[in-house]
């Protein structure tokens, strides 16, 4: 009683602990803090001895600066009036590894942590530990590019993996991609939260910006037949460089109806936004497994790809996650009158991606006509000559 006690939240290459005071020890039971930590009832957090280095005084409030020493048990209850723990009990931690490659310095740093399991804290701790690993010893170059890989392993759900790139945005994209799946799955309303088994991150920091703005989409022709390939160029403006063109090719389906169509070239955000509007059922999960699939769908959209999108002018009805395209009018009418709770309309579109050397932002579109007659007027060469 009266000695210091710690609740380690992060261990290994970082020591993040909540330090308090032991109220009493009865056998293997420990009463501590004299106040709540989070006041949430049952918990399963590490508990151990602590050392107070000094008291930091302040007019608004003083506090003790302390460190965890040795883990001796686990905290099991967190009430308004205090916490209780049990000696000899073990609270498992989530192993986490962060590898950082500094290309300009020719340096690789690797950090290993243990992260406390908690529905609200694990995701936030993961984010701050990764931020500390990347930015704790040096700042990124003023203009930089971050290429990263991410792997989160969950019990019964397997691995959620992501690989992407950002430019002149710090480490926000990596932290967001890592934190959102953990918080979403651990606090989901659909079923028991899956157990997080491990977290692995790898970041490669390069000097220089590769951002580029999408300015225009110029097609080589104005009239095409179904089944032909639309060709053209997307004009982009890289950071502090002259405009350049990215060639694009888009094969039209054989059954594309006649009339006016619009091809859109956009960044990752635009592509994801259109997918959500056209197929909302893919982002309305009804099980934890469907939630995991939706998370993977979001993480798979690359920021360094040009996303080409062509609406097909047709769609269907989705029953839960099952899509029913090209329903006969009679069946569509029956569904509309029945109004099943899990039914939602969706629109079909063709989507193609073009890898680029840039992190793109913005969008542009170009209209063209589809005709089936043999005597169409084509102006491919005229457009090329004009450019």
Q: Which residue has the tokens 């969008």?
A: 363
pLDDT at 385 over 70: no
Residues in the chain: 387
Residue 28, burial from CB neighbour count under 10 angstroms (0-12, 13-18, 19+):
exposed
Contact 32, 40 (CB under 8 A): no
Whole-number Å distance between alpha carbons of 132 and 69: 21
Q: How far apart are CA 217 and CA 195, in angstroms?
A: 46
Dihedral sign, Cα of residue 27, residue 28, residue 34, residue 40: negative
Q: Give every CB contact of residue 9 below 8 A, 6+ residues apart in sequence.
A: 16, 17, 18, 45, 115, 116, 121, 125
Weakest mean pLDDT among 24-28, 144-148, 221-225, 327-331:
327-331
Q: Is the pLDDT of residue 378 over 60?
A: no
The overall average pLDDT reported for the chain is 91
Task: Find all residues with CB under 8 Å of 258, minimum gap 6, and list them.
Answer: 369, 370, 371, 372
pLDDT of residue 336: 58
Radius of gyration of the chain (CA): 28
In degrees to the nearest 10, what's the CA dihedral of 249, 255, 258, 260? -40
Is 377 a residue whose pLDDT tops 50?
no
SS3 category, 350: strand
pLDDT of residue 311: 95
Give the model confidence (pLDDT) of 127-157 as tens digits. 999 999 999 989 999 999 999 999 999 999 9
> What is the CB neighbour count within 10 angstroms for residue 315?
19
Find where tokens 């405009």 sit: 243
- The DSSP symbol for 124 reads H
272 contacts 286 by C-beta, under 8 angstroms: no
Structure confidence at residue 351 (pLDDT): 95
Q: What is the pLDDT of residue 313?
A: 85
Distances (CA, A) of 151 to 100, 185, 187, 287: 15, 15, 19, 22
pLDDT tens-digit readout, 300-337: 999 999 999 999 988 877 777 777 776 666 666 666 56
Neighbours of 330 (CB within 10 A): 7
CA 332 – CA 347 distance, rounded (Å): 14
DSSP 8-state symbol, 54: E
- For residue 373, the model assigns a pLDDT of 78
Calpha distance 227→8 (Å, rounded): 62
Q: Enumerate residues 6+ apart whose C-beta is below 8 A from 157.
A: 185, 194, 288, 289, 292
Residue 9 pLDDT > 90? yes
Looking at residue 381, what is its pLDDT?
Answer: 44
pLDDT at position 226 over 60:
yes
Residue 96 pLDDT > 80? yes
Asked whether the predicted pLDDT for residue 160 surpasses 60, the reply is: yes
Judge whether 286 and 320 are in contact, CB under 8 Å. Answer: yes
pLDDT-derived band of residue 339, with 50, 70 and 90 as boundaries? low
Q: How many CB atoms lie within 10 A of CB 218?
A: 17
Tokens encoding 98: 């962060």
pLDDT at 380 over 50: no
User: With 60 as the cut, is the pLDDT of residue 260 above it?
Assistant: yes
Tokens of 15: 């020591």
* CB contact at 8 A, 57 and 79: no
């Amino acid at each position: 009683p009266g000695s210091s006690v710690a609740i380690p939240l992060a261990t290994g290459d970082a020591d993040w602990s909540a330090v308090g005071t032991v109220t009493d020890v009865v056998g293997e039971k420990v009463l501590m803090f004299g106040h709540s930590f989070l006041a949430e009832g049952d918990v399963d957090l590490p508990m151990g001895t602590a050392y107070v280095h000094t008291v930091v005084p302040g007019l608004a409030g003083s506090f003790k600066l302390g460190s965890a020493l040795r883990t001796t048990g686990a905290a099991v209850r967190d009430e308004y009036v205090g916490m209780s723990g049990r000696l000899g009990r073990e609270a498992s931690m989530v192993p986490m590894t962060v590898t950082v490659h500094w290309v300009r310095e020719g340096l690789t740093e690797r950090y290993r942590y243990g992260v406390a399991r908690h529905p609200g804290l694990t995701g936030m701790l993961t984010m701050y530990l990764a931020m500390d690993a990347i930015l704790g010893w040096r700042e990124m170059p003023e203009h930089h590019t971050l290429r990263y890989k991410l792997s989160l392993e969950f019990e019964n759900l397997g691995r959620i993996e992501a690989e992407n790139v950002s430019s002149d945005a710090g480490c926000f994209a990596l932290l967001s991609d890592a934190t959102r799946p953990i918080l979403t799955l651990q606090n989901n309303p659909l079923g028991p939260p899956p157990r997080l088994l491990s977290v692995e991150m790898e970041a490669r920091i390069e000097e220089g910006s590769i951002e580029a703005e999408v300015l225009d989409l110029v097609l080589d022709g104005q009239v095409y037949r179904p089944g032909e390939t639309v060709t053209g160029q997307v004009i982009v403006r890289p950071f502090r460089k002259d405009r350049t063109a990215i060639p694009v090719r888009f094969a039209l389906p054989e059954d594309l109806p006649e009339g006016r169509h619009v091809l859109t070239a956009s960044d990752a955000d635009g592509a994801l936004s259109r997918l959500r509007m056209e197929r909302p059922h893919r982002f309305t999960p009804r099980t934890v497994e469907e939630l995991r699939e939706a998370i993977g769908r979001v993480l798979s959209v690359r920021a360094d790809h040009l996303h080409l999108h062509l609406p097909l002018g047709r769609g269907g009805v989705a029953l839960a996650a099952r899509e029913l395209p090209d329903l006969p009018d009679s069946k569509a009418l029956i569904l509309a009158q029945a109004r099943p709770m899990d039914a939602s309309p969706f629109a079909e579109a063709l989507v193609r991606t073009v890898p680029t050397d840039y992190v793109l932002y913005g969008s542009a579109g170009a209209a063209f006509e589809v005709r089936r007659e043999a005597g169409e007027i084509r102006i491919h060469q005229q457009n090329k000559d004009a450019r």
